[in-house]
Amino acid sequence: MSSTLDVVNPYSLEVIGSAETSEWDQVDGMLATAHRLFRQRDSWLPAYQRIEILKKTARLMEARFEDLAFQIANEGGKPLVDARVEVMRAIDGVELCVHEVGQMTGREIPMDLTEAGSGRLAFTQREPIGVVVAASAFNHPLNLIVHQVAPAVATGCPVIIKPAPDTPLSCLDFVGMLHEAGLPPDWCRAVVCNNEVAEQMITDPRVGFFSFIGSARVGWMLRSKLTPGARCALEHGGAAPVIVGEDADIDEMIPLLAKGGLYHSGQVCVSVQRVFAPPSKAQEIAQKLAAAAKLLKVGDATDATTDCGPLIRPGEVDRVEEWVSEAIDGGAELLAGGKRLGPTTYAPTVLLNPPANVRVSQLEIFGPVICVYSVDSITEAIETANSLPFAFQAAVFTQSLETAFQAIQRLDATAVMVNDHTAFRVDWMPFAGRRQSGYNTGGIGYTMHDMTQDKMAVIRL
């Protein structure tokens, strides 16, 4: 029996829409249909049809650009200016899938390297891996869906996507546009369901590939329960470090750090969180970051003048408030923010020298908080940056090639940005967490590779 989930604006908490939820019997039917489609190879969609569907989807997204941006802001709390950037990235991501379809090639395998292999010709080709089941996060409610669903469509995998319960509307719209563009509905279904049904779906033996974006606790737990043979990709978060050299251009750095740390009120998995600076510069950096933070307008994300929207739920405001208070009680100097502005908003916050053992120094804050630490050397900064069980993207600010390469070589990160913030990303680059921060690699082309598998033909001549 289906029921309805109300979707609220995270700033006003007013209901803005609803989504029909599914129970296991309905999801079971979707899995059965998807699995049947994959097993019936004569029914696979040829590449030219998949390309045409994705091209039409991109055109539909362009035609509904402002509506999609407003919906991202309305259901997810991302400021409208940033929501528009997300829509553009999502369109580009669909078009990138079109390009990558043509890159899904195999290769010749040389066979006559030994006498045993001589007289044979061998080559590989890429095939879809099977039914893809994906579970997504709230913070990029359209672009994350594109990253999980469009590669499945491009590679010819039937896909079932579960959006975050806070932000299902953008997902439902995207899946609807795929269908409108000509994708047979059974090849892509959106499922809004409770956690019990979701876990049963994800761990079902008919699933070939599981894509997850969300908390490490949930992601690693689900991975441990996957059916034997199922592949997966997990994208979690971190506590992104920034190393500041003695020669860094502070005035050039401040707007980048402020954007990287306070964009979407810090609700980004690679948001700037820990800034390690020389003792002679830490106070100045923290004060200038605080001045930048105080200029930001916090409010309803659908207001075009808003810089920082709400946190996704009131409970997240409570948590951020608790973590910041703990740091201040432990001796951190508060230079900006440090207070809730309402039931759903928290002021952009800058802390100087929080203790090493408090949560803002140990865990991902996922809120509008930047911490600046005074460290005596680059070596100490890198050692401290590497001390957590999370490793995702990192950054270094310096005018010295030696310092830059020291950070590149020694930071435990999948990407090190030089003179840029940790949240930089383009959608064709590899994007991944190490250790507890994730498993396998995201990015359109990399995801498409993971959703396919090699098959080799060996022909005796």
Cα 192 to Cα 99: distance, rounded to the nearest angstrom: 30
| Half-sphere exposure of residue 378: CA atoms within 13 angstroms, side-chain side | 20
Residue 364, burial from CB neighbour count under 10 angstroms (0-12, 13-18, 19+): buried
Tokens read off for 39: 């097993």
Quote the distance between the C-alpha of residue 394 and its chain's center: 15
Q: Which residues are within 8 A (CB) of 370 and not within 5 positions of it... i.e. 6 or more apart? A: 257, 258, 261, 262, 272, 273, 275, 289, 293, 349, 350, 351
Cα 430 to Cα 408: distance, rounded to the nearest angstrom: 16
Which one is catalytic: 97, 157, 232, 269? 269
Task: List the one residue out of 266, 89, 50 whose CA is nearest residue 170.
Answer: 89
Q: Does 127 qualify as catalytic in the annotation?
A: no
Which one is catalytic: 75, 235, 316, 364? 235
C-beta neighbour count of 301 within 10 angstroms = 28
Strand, coil or helix: 216: helix
Q: Does 269 qualify as catalytic in the annotation?
A: yes
Tokens read off for 258: 């402020």
Cα 248 to Cα 371: distance, rounded to the nearest angstrom: 18
By the 8 A CB rule, do 3 and 21 touch? Answer: yes
Q: Which are the catalytic amino acids?
A: 235, 269
